[in-house]
Structure 1
Amino acid sequence: MKPRIAVLGCGYWGSNHIRTLKGLGALHAVSDANFARAEGFASEQDCLAIAPDDLFKRDDVDAIVMALPPQFHADLSIRAVEAGKDVLVEKPIALTVPDAERSVQAAKDNHRVFMVGHVLRFHPAFEKLKALVDAGELGEIRYIHSHRLGLGKFHTENDALWDLAPHDLSMILALTGTEPLEVRGEGAALLDHLSDFAHLHMRFPNNLRSHLFASRLNPYRERRLTVVGARAMAVFDDVEPWERKLAVYHHAVWQDSGQWAATSNEPTYIEVEQGMPLTRELQHFLECIETRAEPRTDGEEAIRVLRILTAGTVTHGRIGG
């Protein structure tokens, strides 16, 4: 039997989890503070509707996917693991590093799977990009920059940095394999007190640098991650069609008589297996429940992301030495 999964939170992203888990044959129940909304999804998807206070007591629920406003994630994930449930918590898993650490420690203490919804780690194009980096195809990585821009999805608790940047930070951390030594952030609030634009500048060991730009007040969509290596450059552009999502550029740069020169070349588009990142993420969650393996996007990664977000919220922050 597949694990029996309940989705707590039937909002925009929770509804995607509900439909995807139904397709995977693992959806058992839905739950929401607005019980009428949960009943509507239960009727549509032919599953149970369970009130949130009752969800943690149910013996027929093996795991819970939490897609809630982030201020509720820490306390409810702790409640879930203490009730013997495995959890997948959407990002960010908490609003403070101490709360995130409490959640992760509670999962360890109760021997529960704790996975974080950094969904782009499961994008086939990113998986291929990481494989290229790990194989040394780009040479030593010198610089990584990401742009995540668009219009809308305003939240009462999350600014653009906390809402949008976790996706890219999880990818950057996976590519570098380490945390930044230094983080500098700045933002701009145009609508209210929450930043609608955010920039992060990070310095990693070996002088690797990274820059992230996130915006929810941009007239066009941009979903681009660029990796600059000593031998080649690669671009993961999620706005492009599948056959053009991952491009490698073998530009030549050299020094001649004290002057720098460059020759640009047409990109080589890397073949990428098509697949929905959310489906692949939830398949991974099911496998971790069944095998008790550590998730690819575990709680420790989420804590590292939160450290960067926290440091980037101030004018200047330092992590480590």
Structure 2
Amino acid sequence: MYPRIAVVGCGQWGQNHIRTLAELGALAGAADRHEDRAEAFAKRYDVKALTPEAAIAASDIDALVLALPAAAHGPMARAAFAAGKDVLIEKPIALDPADAEKTAAAARAAGRLLMVGHVVRFHPVFQRLCEIVAEGRIGTVRHMISNRMGLGRFPSMDAVWDLAPHDLSLVLRLANGYPERVICHRRTVLSDTTDIADIMLEFSGGIGAEIHVSRVSPYRDRRFSVIGTEGMLTFDDLAPEGEKLALYAHKVRRAGATFDFDNAPAEFLSTEPGLPLDRELRHFLDCIMTRTEPETGASEAVETVRILSLAAPLSSPDPAD
């Protein structure tokens, strides 16, 4: 039997958590500052409607999913840890590194699990990409390129904070470490905050990464590429099924005083089926039951906020909705 989970925050992404947890048989409550919103989802899924404070205090709730404005994540999570609950927090867990570390420390002190909702990490195509890298099929990883571009998503939050956490999580997973240097170029185009950003990351051992985010692109692009010494991989989330993961056996070699290369056609690789959010929440439930540290745990959550703060310092907290 699964642990009993309440979702706090019934907005756009919270609704996805509510629906998926209900399908898994683990949803026990829906909570929101707007009581009518919580009651509507509670009625639909035959669970309890709660206030956020009641969800934290409820003895028949084992864990929470927090899908709130980022500024509210820390205080709510810390109260939940003190009440003996494990918590999955949607990205980002805070708007400054000190608050993120305070939340991580509270989880450690209470002996509770903190997981951050980097859902793309649980995409079956990305997970297969990681397996291929571990098998050594592209040699040694040297560089990564991540594009997250499209039109829309104009919250008050800077585009770096809104869009880049997903890509940072992918990069950190394959870099097996944290960057020593962060460079970011940002530009406001059509809104009042950053609309476009290019983030460069430098890791020890010569690994580099570049992340490109835009919410004013006339076309959508959701590609993540890994360049190795013996080949390259691309995960294209917008490609048709069966073509989302491509292996390119490209090789660059020294030719006297210069360089030459071999250009190979794409080899499309098979991957498992499955929905990323379903896999993410199953992982959270498994971690609760086995008391295992989540794959996207506290350390990565804090590091992601640190990098975001270096790339795009915020002058004021994110307003609550």
Q: TM-score, normalised by structure 1?
A: 0.95
Aligned to 1:288: 287
**Is the 1:242–1:272 Cα contact (8 Å) retained in structure 2?**
no
Per-residue deviation at 1:263?
A: 2.9
Per-residue deviation at 1:155?
A: 1.4
Residue deviations 1:5-39, cap 9 Å, x none?
00000000000000000000000000111110111
Residue 131 of structure 1 aligns to which amino acid in structure 2? Answer: E
The reply to whether residue 113 of structure 1 matches residue 116 of structure 2 is no
Per-residue deviation at 1:191?
A: 3.5
Residue 264 of structure 1 aligns to which amino acid in structure 2? Answer: N
CA distance in 2, matches of 1:124, 1:257: 42
CA distance in 2, matches of 1:128, 1:169: 18
Per-residue deviation at 1:261?
A: 2.4
CA distance in 1, matches of 2:59, 2:286: 20
Aligned to 1:36: 36
Name the SS for the 1:56 alignment partner.
helix
- Aligned CA-pair RMSD: 1.1
Residues 6-85 of structure 1 mapped to structure 2, 5 A cutoff: 6-85=6-85
CA distance in 2, matches of 1:305, 1:51: 29
CA distance in 1, matches of 2:254, 2:280: 45
Aligned to 2:246: 247
Residue deviations 1:72-91, cap 9 Å, x none?
00110001110111100000
Aligned to 1:166: 165
Residue deviations 1:78-135, cap 9 Å, x none?
0111011110000000001010001111011111111110111111111111111122
Name the SS for the 2:57 alignment partner.
coil
CA distance in 2, matches of 1:154, 1:106: 32
Distance 1:50 1:254, change over 3 A: same
Residue 17 of structure 1 aligns to which amino acid in structure 2? Answer: H
**Structure 1 residues 288-297 or 47-56, which shifts more?**
47-56
**Is the 2:229–2:251 Cα contact (8 Å) retained in structure 1?**
no
Aligned to 1:310: 309
Residue 122 of structure 1 aligns to which amino acid in structure 2? Answer: F
Residue 67 of structure 1 aligns to which amino acid in structure 2? Answer: A
Name the SS for the 2:92 alignment partner.
coil
Aligned to 1:319: none
Q: How many residues align?
A: 313
**Is the 2:159–2:214 Cα contact (8 Å) retained in structure 1?**
yes
Per-residue deviation at 1:197?
A: 0.8
CA distance in 2, matches of 1:191, 1:71: 25
Per-residue deviation at 1:257?
A: 4.2
- Structure 2, unaligned stretches of length 5 or more? 314-321
Aligned to 2:316: none
**Structure 1 residues 86-95 or 253-262, which shifts more?**
253-262
Residues 137-148 of structure 1 mapped to structure 2, 5 A cutoff: 137-148=137-148
Residue 309 of structure 1 aligns to which amino acid in structure 2? Answer: L
CA distance in 2, matches of 1:151, 1:126: 24
Name the SS for the 1:243 alignment partner.
coil
Name the SS for the 1:244 alignment partner.
coil
CA distance in 1, matches of 2:134, 2:253: 25
Name the SS for the 2:30 alignment partner.
strand
Aligned to 2:155: 155
Aligned to 1:102: 102
CA distance in 2, matches of 1:290, 1:252: 45
Identity of aligned residues (%): 44
The reply to whether residue 133 of structure 1 matches residue 122 of structure 2 is no
- Structure 1, unaligned stretches of length 5 or more? 315-321
Residue 199 of structure 1 aligns to which amino acid in structure 2? Answer: D
CA distance in 1, matches of 2:251, 2:94: 44
Residue 61 of structure 2 aligns to which amino acid in structure 1? Answer: V
**Structure 1 residues 42-51 or 290-299, which shifts more?**
42-51
Name the SS for the 2:201 alignment partner.
strand
Name the SS for the 1:260 alignment partner.
strand
Per-residue deviation at 1:142?
A: 1.1
Aligned to 1:213: 212
CA distance in 2, matches of 1:286, 1:218: 37
The reply to whether residue 271 of structure 1 matches residue 252 of structure 2 is no
Aligned to 2:226: 227
**Is the 1:97–1:306 Cα contact (8 Å) retained in structure 2?**
yes
Residue 92 of structure 1 aligns to which amino acid in structure 2? Answer: P
Per-residue deviation at 1:295?
A: 0.4
Residue 35 of structure 1 aligns to which amino acid in structure 2? Answer: E
Name the SS for the 2:242 alignment partner.
helix
**Is the 1:242–1:274 Cα contact (8 Å) retained in structure 2?**
no
Moved over 3 A (4+): none
Name the SS for the 1:254 alignment partner.
strand
**Is the 2:147–2:221 Cα contact (8 Å) retained in structure 1?**
yes
CA distance in 1, matches of 2:98, 2:257: 52
